[in-house]
């Protein structure tokens, strides 16, 4: 599905549907994370604003489904997080499934 369509669906959806669409949006955006400058590329190629992708990343982080990388000074590294999702999708999915399971003692 096209990025612009996914951003529109993300804005109007609610609850678990919003999380599902946010994942689709993030995975689609991650496919293009090797282009520099990234945010300008998204805007020119797809008409998607930086705030729309960042909002989806923050939403998934608040839901506990994703952890956005942070720099030493605490700033969020959105593009680095997207690159990691693109390069290691299996590892990320495994990490998410492990982190959702209750820990046994």
Summarize pLDDT for 22-67 with one digit per residue, the tens: 999 999 999 998 889 999 999 999 999 999 999 999 999 998 888 8
> Could you give the count of Cα atoms lying within 13 Å of 50 in the half-sphere of its Cβ?
8
The reply to whether the predicted model has a pTM over 0.85 is: no
The pLDDT of residue 100 is 57
The pLDDT of residue 101 is 54
- Could you give the angle at which helices 50-62 and 78-87 cross, rounded to 10 degrees? 70
- How confident is the model over 11-18, as a mean pLDDT? 93
Cis amide bond preceding 37, omega within 30: yes
pLDDT over threshold 50, residue 68: yes
- At 74, list the tokens: 């605490």
Q: How far apart are CA 64 and CA 43, in angstroms?
A: 28
The pLDDT of residue 105 is 47
């Amino acid at each position: 599905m096209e990025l612009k369509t996914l951003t529109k669906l993300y804005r109007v959806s609610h609850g678990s549907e919003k999380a599902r669409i946010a994942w689709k949006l993030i995975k689609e955006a991650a496919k293009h994370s090797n282009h520099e400058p990234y945010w300008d590329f998204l805007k020119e190629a797809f008409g998607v604003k930086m705030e729309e992708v960042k909002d989806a990343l923050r939403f998934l982080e608040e839901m506990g489904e994703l952890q956005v990388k942070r720099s030493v000074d605490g700033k969020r590294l959105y593009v680095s997080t997207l690159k990691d999702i693109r390069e290691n999708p299996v590892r990320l999915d495994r990490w998410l499934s492990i982190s959702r399971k209750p820990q046994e003692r």
